[in-house]
Structure 1
Amino acid sequence: MIDDRTSAQSIYAFATWEPLLRLLRADRVERYGTAAGGAIGSIGRGWWSLDLGRARDFQEETEAVQRVRESLAEAGTGSVAFVAEFAPSGTAVLRLLESGPAVEPGIGGPSPGALTLVEGAVPEPWRRLPEPDPGAIPAPSADPVELGRMLRERLPGAVGATEEELAATERRLGLALPAELKALYRVTRGRWEDQPYDSEAADREADAIGCELLPLDDLYIADASSRPAPWGHAALEAVTNPPGAAVQGLVGSPGWLAFGDNGGGDRLAVDLTPGPGGHLGQIIGISHEGYLGADLVAASLTDLAAGRLSERAAPEAGAPLVARVNRAYLPSVEAGAHPELEVLCLGVHEGPPLSLAPVLGLPRLRTLTAAPGTLADPLEIARLTGLEYLEIGPDDWRVLLDAGAVPRTLSAAAVDVSPYPADLRAVVSLVNEILALWDRPPITETVVEGELGAEA
């Protein structure tokens, strides 16, 4: 879809882009002796990716990019990719490629990211709910009375939550607060404004509790939606729940009640949906660096405040749910095939292209990624009847599209290209062809043209 828009005060104004276009053209002339071939890149409100040589003026680059970023904010646009074409006469043609809600930004370059083919769809791990354990009970150490006594002794003068404030929080969250958590907030509700003239109050509170406490108003349920991830990463995850695990290996849970922080960005939560080896109300740590699972921190809030922390237990090894076939991991598809397999990733390996025959018919296989050139027969993909995510190279997509064999079970997909493809517009055209199969909004192209003057 091509549009031709002009505006003196928008992302579509040539003046907005002129400093960057001059910088890109000069860089190409310096590196290649000519600007022929143009340049591509992408810019977001907080980042940018440009194909520039090593010898460059970062201040000049930053200033040029900043003009574009300001226009993005003005237009309410998150990011834009572009193709710039330079003529020896001085004419510059800029093609702005804007993704709609169905296309995630690319990672590390202007190529489109994953395509959400079904609106609102999320990968299977983000749909996974905790396995119920009606027999789960609190740890013997859980003692709301003792917890309250310890905290009042350590935090004299702290302002605690009222019963009405606690009740209002329960109504907001839609669940009853655990007894230990109520005991904690009855001593301190965690608001910095309760002690505005004491710069050390927060440190004393964290030392007393064993973590940085979230204000009562910020208490939240750490379900799967609280841990978002791009489709291209999330589709490669798989939930495991080893027998006897204390914590269920979920993305999130309606029973994970986040109340604190470890000071490094990891959340602490009361776990109301423990694993078979855990306790109701145990304290878990939710890492901000990963998407799955949580670590057992303490058997109870009382233990946390008393400094009785739990040791991490290594999970039991089972059949891997994710198989990576490449030089560093598995040597073949056969080596990773088993009935529980969920994710198959084919990368650079020794030997000829690979057949998918060993995984045809596997009941749980939902994700396939295959680097360009790794598939012996792309049409075998059509025989994988449970795929929800597919990431393959442009040539493999072309085979599927021409044969009308794109799996209609897909919820998301991606085209595997390097961050700087040889022909970005061809990739965009292919992406739009895939989006059209699901009647999803396409990537649009807007042409902006202007004069830079002849090359020096």
Structure 2
Amino acid sequence: MDDQMPLSSPLRDFASWEPLLQLLLAHDGERSAGRTRRVTGRISRHAWSLDLPEGLPSAEMSVVEDLRRSFDRGGLVETEFTAEVQPDGSTTLHLAWASLVMPRGFPDRAVLTLVDGVLPEPWRRLPDPVPGAAPAPSADLELLERTLRERLPDAVGATEEEIAATEARLGVTLSDELKVLYRVTRARWDWEDFHEDYEQADRVYTAVGCELGSLEDLYSVDAAARHSSWSRATDAVYCPPNVAVQGLAGSPGWIVFGSNGGDELAVDLTPGPGGHTGQVILVSHEANLGADLIADSLTDFVLDRTRDERCRSGEFPAVARIGAGSLHTIQAAAHPALEVLSIDSSDGAPFSLVPLSGLAHLRTLTACPGALSDPLEIAGLTGLDYLELPVQEWRVLLDAGAVPRTLSAAAIKVQRDEDPLPVVALAQEILALWDRTRIVRTVLEGNLGPAKS
């Protein structure tokens, strides 16, 4: 779709862009009389990527902020732009408007969503069953209840009917320890229970060890809500044989009961092979996958018998990096459990993908320019759902009609100072294979005046 604006907006006028283009040209050390110049960049409601020096005066940077505010007013998200400036100042400005199918989360790649509603595999993965999983020996219902009642003698507890209603809403059976906690205090922060007594709220925090949520507010950790964009397709679940906490994005059995002020605290009803049913885990707001084990039981947590077993991100054999990483050959990465392979540029010969053919779990492949000896060997990788390649390698696949149709998302690696217009044209071709909404493009004409000698 060319020469169209997504919505009515002041950004339809060249005059809205002229201050930014003048700012870019003013800091372009190569602009001189008699030469055509090209300036490029990316700008959105929330960020920008522009070839400007650091530490510019706020008066100059206000040009960027004024343009960003126009995005908000026009309901627009993001655009890539290229301006060709002739010696006499006549300028052609090309704008490519990002949409839901082409978010630009990073300046070095254009990510294309090819199938609606599909998340990267780690965010789709459900917990594995662990036969024989049981509460920890330290789980002591009598000790837990006695401790909580001593610390909270005036608390209002939940009824059995209220606990049963919560279980029905969540679709899980709460751990016995969690039921004990809410039988002592249902933590309903309203006039009926606490009469706006903030000192009582502080006593609950001290008694339990966290900001306690009410019984009615219990919820399970939603995997899709944890940084699940396709820019994270190189992440992998980490589940070694004796792990205590399954390295998932979320689980119906991770029942959040409190917070430390930023991270979620949950009782884990779906532990790993080395864990215990009802263990307490911390779900970090900074992490994409997994959770940290902080107590073997809720009893341990309340009695401050905590531990610190940190979640580890995906690693070999599920994730492998070749070239600039620890591995130097494709053969070394070709493990049956391999899920994610990143091939960096190398000083040596490019790599053949033949040793990877037939690997059942390989779902993500990323490669730098010149890293592949033959991009058409990608056809032997039959389970890919995410592929990230430079422009030239995508061109080979498109010309041969060899783009894997198993993909749910794709990404084009963008080199520094690369003209975004060919990247947008390439993205259009890939999107067309899935009959996706095309990227809207706009062309504006104007004059910035001749270069100063």
Going from structure 1 to structure 2, the CA distance change for 1:7 and 1:23 (only over 3 Å counts) comes to: farther
Equivalents in 2 of 1:392, 1:6: separation in Å? 28
Displacement of 1:410 in angstroms is 1.4
Displacement of 1:75 in angstroms is 2.5
Equivalents in 2 of 1:435, 1:448: separation in Å? 25
1:182-201 correspondence to structure 2 within 5 Å? 182-186=179-183, 187-189=185-187, 191=189, 194=194, 196=196, 198=198
Displacement of 1:40 in angstroms is 1.6
Contact 1:222 1:258 in 2 (8 A): yes
Q: Residue 350 of structure 1: which of 347, 350, 359 is its match?
A: 347
Instruction: Say whether 1:175 aligns with 2:175.
Output: no
2:320 — aligned with what?
A: 323
Contact 1:13 1:448 in 2 (8 A): yes
Contact 1:104 1:112 in 2 (8 A): no
Q: Which runs of 5+ in 2 are unaligned?
A: none
Going from structure 1 to structure 2, the CA distance change for 1:239 and 1:372 (only over 3 Å counts) comes to: same
2:40 — aligned with what?
A: 40
2:291 — aligned with what?
A: 294
2:10 — aligned with what?
A: 10
1:430 — aligned with what?
A: 426
Q: Counterpart of 2:396 in structure 1: which amino acid?
A: V
Q: Counterpart of 1:227 in structure 2: which amino acid?
A: R
Deviation string 1:64-97 (CA, Å, 9 cap, x unpaired) is 2222222222232232222233334344433221
Q: Counterpart of 1:253 in structure 2: which amino acid?
A: S
Q: TM-score, normalised by structure 1?
A: 0.88
1:448 — aligned with what?
A: 444
Equivalents in 2 of 1:225, 1:241: separation in Å? 19
Going from structure 1 to structure 2, the CA distance change for 1:273 and 1:6 (only over 3 Å counts) comes to: closer
Equivalents in 2 of 1:173, 1:68: separation in Å? 46
Contact 1:320 1:341 in 2 (8 A): yes
Contact 1:192 1:202 in 2 (8 A): no
Contact 2:6 2:76 in 1 (8 A): no
Instruction: Say whether 1:136 aligns with 2:133.
Output: yes
Deviation string 1:259-303 (CA, Å, 9 cap, x unpaired) is 22233x332111111112211111111222322222211111121
Instruction: Say whether 1:385 aligns with 2:390.
Output: no
Displacement of 1:165 in angstroms is 5.7
1:285 — aligned with what?
A: 282
Deviation string 1:2-55 (CA, Å, 9 cap, x unpaired) is 124599853323343333222122222x55446842322222222221111346
User: Residue 252 of structure 2 aligns to a residue in which SS?
Assistant: coil
2:235 — aligned with what?
A: 237
Q: Counterpart of 2:427 in structure 1: which amino acid?
A: V
Q: Which runs of 5+ in 1 are unaligned?
A: none
Q: Counterpart of 1:428 in structure 2: which amino acid?
A: V
Query: Percent identity between the aligned chains?
Result: 52
Contact 2:354 2:380 in 1 (8 A): no
Root mean square deviation of aligned Cα: 2.9
Q: Residue 409 of structure 1: which of 402, 406, 414 is its match?
A: 406
Contact 2:245 2:272 in 1 (8 A): yes
Contact 1:6 1:448 in 2 (8 A): no
2:227 — aligned with what?
A: 228
Contact 2:291 2:310 in 1 (8 A): no
Equivalents in 2 of 1:400, 1:66: separation in Å? 40
Q: Residue 253 of structure 1: which of 237, 242, 251 is its match?
A: 251
Going from structure 1 to structure 2, the CA distance change for 1:8 and 1:361 (only over 3 Å counts) comes to: closer
Displacement of 1:151 in angstroms is 3.1
Displacement of 1:156 in angstroms is 5.3
Deviation string 1:238-259 (CA, Å, 9 cap, x unpaired) is 2232222221122211111122
Equivalents in 1 of 2:73, 2:67: separation in Å? 10
Contact 1:20 1:65 in 2 (8 A): yes
Equivalents in 2 of 1:215, 1:451: separation in Å? 62
2:50 — aligned with what?
A: 50
Going from structure 1 to structure 2, the CA distance change for 1:45 and 1:195 (only over 3 Å counts) comes to: farther
Per mean C-alpha deviation after superposition, the further-off stretch among 205-214 and 98-107 is: 205-214
Q: Counterpart of 2:371 in structure 1: which amino acid?
A: T
1:110-149 correspondence to structure 2 within 5 Å? 113-149=110-146
User: Residue 427 of structure 1 aligns to a residue in which SS?
Assistant: helix
User: Residue 113 of structure 1 aligns to a residue in which SS?
Assistant: strand
Equivalents in 1 of 2:38, 2:245: separation in Å? 53
Contact 1:189 1:216 in 2 (8 A): yes
Contact 1:361 1:384 in 2 (8 A): yes
Q: Counterpart of 1:414 in structure 2: which amino acid?
A: A
Equivalents in 2 of 1:6, 1:340: separation in Å? 44
1:83 — aligned with what?
A: 82
Q: TM-score, normalised by structure 2?
A: 0.88
Contact 2:123 2:228 in 1 (8 A): no
Size of the alignment, in residue pairs? 447
Q: Counterpart of 1:441 in structure 2: which amino acid?
A: T
2:273 — aligned with what?
A: 276
User: Residue 11 of structure 1 aligns to a residue in which SS?
Assistant: helix
1:24 — aligned with what?
A: 24
Contact 2:77 2:98 in 1 (8 A): no
Per mean C-alpha deviation after superposition, the further-off stretch among 354-363 and 167-176 is: 167-176
Q: Counterpart of 1:21 in structure 2: which amino acid?
A: L
Q: Counterpart of 2:18 in structure 1: which amino acid?
A: E
User: Residue 60 of structure 1 aligns to a residue in which SS?
Assistant: helix
Displacement of 1:218 in angstroms is 4.2
Q: Counterpart of 1:244 in structure 2: which amino acid?
A: N
Instruction: Say whether 1:67 aligns with 2:66.
Output: yes
Q: Counterpart of 2:132 in structure 1: which amino acid?
A: G
Equivalents in 1 of 2:307, 2:437: separation in Å? 49
Deviation string 1:182-203 (CA, Å, 9 cap, x unpaired) is 43345152638846564x6655
Q: Counterpart of 1:249 in structure 2: which amino acid?
A: G
Contact 2:40 2:419 in 1 (8 A): no
